[in-house]
Chain A
């Protein structure tokens, strides 16, 4: 009886079209936000903030970006990490080359640069689909990483393209402690997630899904396929770009282009497969899962299997478990954790009377 829609009659379409139409969801989100902003920084250790929560938020943002492109607009991309790289390096250069550049503006600039590159590599999607497009996005992955490594200008001529992100400062306040960085990342991610949620429930979102589900019918309805696909590439890359900037500025600090490898792109893809393709909350669930899994595996290997397995096995175990889970989810629950969560809520809605 805790989670019920019954009795909440919508008396207007406006009420029915709210961002979270069910009251319990609204309250739930507010509680989660309150915990994330106030309780978490106080309760969690520095290690948790730095090594788990900050990367979790950043990967959620990247997964959100990929989910817009792949989950909503149906264009499979294997190059998310490359767009993150563009965001990171562009923000770095904005900070480096523009005097007094506000950091938030640099992040936005990084996102916009990634969006521009995303549009360029999204152009082939106008003529090709499916696997062909997936392979084309590999071109972005390899080309961008190579370019950032080879062209010294991007990294201010450091060796092998390594950059060290500048300090983050807003209105004279410097974000150096893990708590401060966490809160900054959280604020950015929350805002962008809300914007994304609004987009996918409006006509752009419907246009993306229409193109995904049946492009011919979408065009016949009057959707401009080219415009819609490129917008998905742009918005998606913007999100990945900002995620990349945060990755450099708030998480790692010192990054090289090689850090944004194909492997990272796959990780982000795995996040949305496990979290839920075509779902905003899925991006967060999937990111949490993928960030926590290796840690959990390490603990298991060290606690229980320490004597049994040779040390080299642990990293390979990670590969096997990752891959196995992907296959498992695709077979058992192609809509991922987000769907499981939804099913759970529906059960709760009926509880304690199952009929």
Chain B
């Protein structure tokens, strides 16, 4: 039982990581209707850029700021070069464009910073929390708890941003109705740039935590892809959905690997989230939080 709880908690905490990436997807999808396949590549690029700046001798806060600046520039350039010319194209075209963007970002990031695997040090140790270990005998990593804390903080910040700033409110309006948003007086393009910058920030935070956990390498992009099944569970437009979906995927994936994996040869976490999302889709195509929708004709 203790072991079960440990696995479950570990899964939940790694699920938080998926939620991070899914969050970036949701932000962009809500504001621009673009399904941004490149979000995973952005996580990788952000982490690599941060490490790269640190290697150049920048102290932590400066490297963080510089990496953030790079992500903002990336967002602005993407809006100008990719999104604006494709406005009003079918969503699937935009989706394919973001697959192209994925390649560009990965190529650029590796071209500039090199392709070798790096470590990323945040100064938090990956050891079990002592008092929890002592009192219950359950091992939970300090680092994972820290990651969950950061996630909670980030979601709170985003919620405040959406609730209390003019731009945040405009973003929410855009999600509901593009025309209405225009009447607020903020150009759609500005909104898109901001939302890509915010998504870039989320990617940076995700990249830092993930990079510190598993190292910064190309495989990060595959892990980040698991945000896709998370989105299927949680729906493309729901922030709580992204969080809950991430937790579900993270925990079931770990439980499945531990309890089923040994019977089938292991490594099932490469596909388990996808198959689970698929099974889920068949039962509830509208997602956990989505509403049933009938095409109007």
Interface residues of A (CB under 8 A from B): 76, 123-124, 127-128, 130-132, 134-136, 138-139, 142-143, 145-146, 149-151, 216-217, 266, 269-270, 273, 312-313, 316-327, 330-331, 334
Cβ–Cβ contact A124 & B104, under 8 A:
no
For the complex, what is the distance from the CA of A320 to the CA of B114, rounded to whole Å?
14
For the complex, what is the distance from the CA of A330 to the CA of B100, rounded to whole Å?
10
Other than A134-B95, A135-B228, A327-B100, give 5 A-B pairs with Cβ distance below 8 A. A130-B92, A132-B232, A313-B111, A320-B111, A323-B106
Q: Could you say which of A146, A269, A331 contacts B86, with CB atoms under 8 Å apart?
A: A331
Cβ–Cβ contact A124 & B107, under 8 A:
no
Whole-angstrom distance between the Cβ of B197 and the nearest chain A Cβ: 20
Give the number of residues in B that approach A within 8 Å (Cβ atoms): 48
Q: Total A-B pairs in contact (CB under 8 Å)?
A: 133
For the complex, what is the distance from the CA of A329 to the CA of B111, rounded to whole Å?
23
Name the B residues within 8 Å of A330 (CB-CB): 86, 89, 93, 96-97, 100
23 sample A-B contacts, Cβ–Cβ < 8 Å, listed by A number = A123-B282, A131-B91, A131-B92, A131-B95, A131-B236, A132-B281, A135-B229, A138-B228, A142-B270, A142-B274, A145-B270, A149-B267, A312-B115, A313-B111, A316-B111, A317-B111, A319-B103, A320-B111, A323-B107, A326-B96, A326-B99, A326-B103, A330-B86
Cβ–Cβ contact A127 & B225, under 8 A:
no
Name the A residues within 8 Å of B43 (CB-CB): none
Name the B residues within 8 Å of A312 (CB-CB): 110-111, 114-115
| Residue among A124, A128, A135, A150 with the highest chain B CB neighbour number at 10 A | A135
B265 within 8 A of A: yes
- The digit string for B270-297, where 1 denotes a CB below 8 A from any CB of A, is 1100110110011001000000000101
Cβ–Cβ contact B281 & A327, under 8 A:
no
Cβ–Cβ contact A139 & B278, under 8 A:
yes
Name the A residues within 8 Å of B96 (CB-CB): 76, 269, 273, 326, 330
Whole-angstrom distance between the Cβ of B217 and the nearest chain A Cβ: 14
Name the B residues within 8 Å of A123 (CB-CB): 282
Cβ–Cβ contact A127 & B100, under 8 A:
no
Whole-angstrom distance between the Cβ of B270 and the nearest chain A Cβ: 5
B85 within 8 A of A: yes
Whole-angstrom distance between the Cβ of A213 and the nearest chain B Cβ: 11
4 residue pairs, one from A and one from B, having the closest CB atoms? A323-B103, A319-B107, A326-B100, A139-B274
**CB nearest to B297 among chain A residues:** A216
Contact A135-B231, Cβ < 8 Å, known A142-B274, A316-B107, A330-B97: yes
For the complex, what is the distance from the CA of A217 to the CA of B202, rounded to whole Å?
41
Name the A residues within 8 Å of B271 (CB-CB): 139, 142-143, 146
B102 within 8 A of A: yes
Name the A residues within 8 Å of B1 (CB-CB): none
Contact A317-B107, Cβ < 8 Å, known A131-B91, A324-B100, A330-B96: yes
Whole-angstrom distance between the Cβ of A281 and the nearest chain B Cβ: 20
Whole-angstrom distance between the Cβ of A323 and the nearest chain B Cβ: 3
Cβ–Cβ contact B93 & A135, under 8 A:
no
Name the A residues within 8 Å of B103 (CB-CB): 266, 319-320, 322-324, 326
B264 within 8 A of A: yes
Cβ–Cβ contact B111 & A128, under 8 A:
no
